[in-house]
Structure 1
Amino acid sequence: MEFRFNCHPLFRQRIVRINNSLLPTGFTAPCRRTALDATAQISEIINFIGQLSAQAQGLSNPVTTSQKLRNSDHHIYLMFEPNEKHGLVVGILKVGHKSLYVFDQNGETVNVTAPCVLDFYVHESRQRGGLGRELFEHMLNEEKIQPQSLAIDRPSEKLLGFLQKHYGLYNKIPQMNNFVVYEGFFSSKQNGSDIDGRRMHITASPNTNLFGPTFTTVEDHRRSNSQT
């Protein structure tokens, strides 16, 4: 995607990381005016490519906007392609940590704070050229995480195929929400998630019907099992 302004000063590298400052990591400006112009340009890029991503996924509203990013601790990776004009922005990958309730391999609901893929898009004119893999690998290296430790928000069939092809991820742990997690997600050695030890045990007791499921710690659950 080409924009009305020159993107080259914003992209000192092929892939830049944007946080809620709406400025690329390491970006320096000689004056406040330059910084304000840069944030306005980054906002325009994010909003436009976020809309394209939503259209490609068949969503009525974009997952990614500059306003949403500004009000979060998430961050975005943008991929740039220089040329003799203004340059092209060809891909976006949005990631961040979220507190989720997910089923583990035993069907128990566990509260985790997990690294999540929230949006991923490469422009149609640049797909099937290895750019998606390059962008995803860059994110994994920067975040220092393994692909199986990620929770994927509402992945398209194309993204599921991408993860299976490049990372061998195909054994999903069934969930009741929009997130997809794979076998290996709960492995302490491979997973960068923070599991807080609370598990939601759903029983058929009258109390559950009246008051809903309750949270118990792993130790509480172990003691309960030892007494039966």
Structure 2
Amino acid sequence: MEFPFDINQLFPERISILDQTLAVSRKSSARPDLQENIATVLDELGRASAKAQQLTAPITSASKLQSQKHQLYLMKDGAANGGRGAVVGFLKVGYKKLFLLDRQRAHIEAEPLCILDFYIADNRQRHGYGLQLFDHMLQDKNVQPALMAYDRPSPKLLSFLAKHYNLTQSIPQVNNFVVFEGFFFDKSGSRCPPLTDQGMYGYL
């Protein structure tokens, strides 16, 4: 996805992490023009993601990121667009307090790291960028895919999770979130007590 301004000036790293400040560097936080361009990128990405998922409205925008404690991983291709760079896609995550049902239909309160929005530009799909971006987030958060929750995952995301992380057995929930087999088990294979230990979800 190309823009009429220099993407490399906004996002110095191949994968940049944005939060409520919309700043990836001191330079961008100090210059209103760069902040405005970052907001434009996020708004355009949110609209493109909503269109791809056939949503009625975007769930990602600059204003939404500023008002919520979420993080957005943005990937660029620095050599594209005549060296000005282009955006490949993004992945938005955040912790959510959820009431979930395990296999025995017992109610469990948890606050896992959740996948909230995930989009790779149409002309960049099927080149491995989505996997690179997802793996970068997993390493940064030190979390396993099975220990995450997924907010209204699209069929394409479910296929992606099955192909790359062998997540195929979901546990039905009464909300919009999807969790998979292994979510309610600790590393030893024992069933977890009610999930109050936030460390297992990437806090540690």
Same topology, TM > 0.5 = yes
Corresponding residue SS for 1:195: coil
Tell me, in whole angstroms, the C-alpha distance in 1 between the residues paired with 2:46 and 2:14: 19
Deviation for aligned residue 1:37? 2.1
- Would you say 1:171 and 2:165 are equivalent positions? no
Corresponding residue SS for 2:89: strand
Check whether the contact 1:23–1:38 (CA below 8 A) recurs between aligned residues: no
Corresponding residue SS for 1:165: helix
Check whether the contact 2:150–2:179 (CA below 8 A) recurs between aligned residues: yes
Tell me, in whole angstroms, the C-alpha distance in 2 between the residues paired with 1:159 and 1:30: 32
Gaps of 5+ in 1: 198-228
Tell me, in whole angstroms, the C-alpha distance in 1 between the residues paired with 2:63 and 2:117: 15
Corresponding residue SS for 2:184: coil
Match of 1:46 among 42, 47, 50: 42
- Please identify, of 80-89 and 52-61, the stretch whose mean Cα deviation from structure 2 is larger: 80-89
5 Å-filtered alignment, 1:144-223, equals: 144-189=142-187, 195-196=195-196
Corresponding residue SS for 1:196: coil
Identity %: 42
Corresponding residue SS for 1:118: strand
Q: Which has the higher strand share?
A: 1
Tell me, in whole angstroms, the C-alpha distance in 2 between the residues paired with 1:100 and 1:70: 22
Check whether the contact 2:23–2:29 (CA below 8 A) recurs between aligned residues: no
Deviation for aligned residue 1:31? 8.3
Deviation for aligned residue 1:30? 8.6
Match of 2:58 among 62, 68, 93: 62
Match of 2:13, as an amino acid? Q
Match of 1:145, as an amino acid? V
- 1:132 aligns to what? 130
Corresponding residue SS for 1:12: coil
CA distance change for structure 1 residues 101 and 30 in 2, over 3 Å: closer, same or farther? closer
- 2:201 aligns to what? none
Deviation for aligned residue 1:4? 1.3
CA distance change for structure 1 residues 69 and 146 in 2, over 3 Å: closer, same or farther? same
Check whether the contact 1:50–1:63 (CA below 8 A) recurs between aligned residues: yes
Tell me, in whole angstroms, the C-alpha distance in 1 between the residues paired with 2:72 and 2:186: 26
CA distance change for structure 1 residues 85 and 30 in 2, over 3 Å: closer, same or farther? closer
Deviation for aligned residue 1:40? 1.2
Check whether the contact 1:96–1:116 (CA below 8 A) recurs between aligned residues: yes
- 2:5 aligns to what? 5
Deviation for aligned residue 1:86? 2.3
Deviation for aligned residue 1:188? 2.8
- Tell me which structure has the larger Cα radius of gyration: 1
Check whether the contact 1:93–1:119 (CA below 8 A) recurs between aligned residues: yes
Tell me, in whole angstroms, the C-alpha distance in 1 between the residues paired with 2:177 and 2:153: 8
5 Å-filtered alignment, 1:104-143, equals: 104-143=102-141
Match of 1:13, as an amino acid? E
Deviation for aligned residue 1:45? 0.5
Normalization by structure 2: what TM-score? Answer: 0.89
Match of 2:196, as an amino acid? D
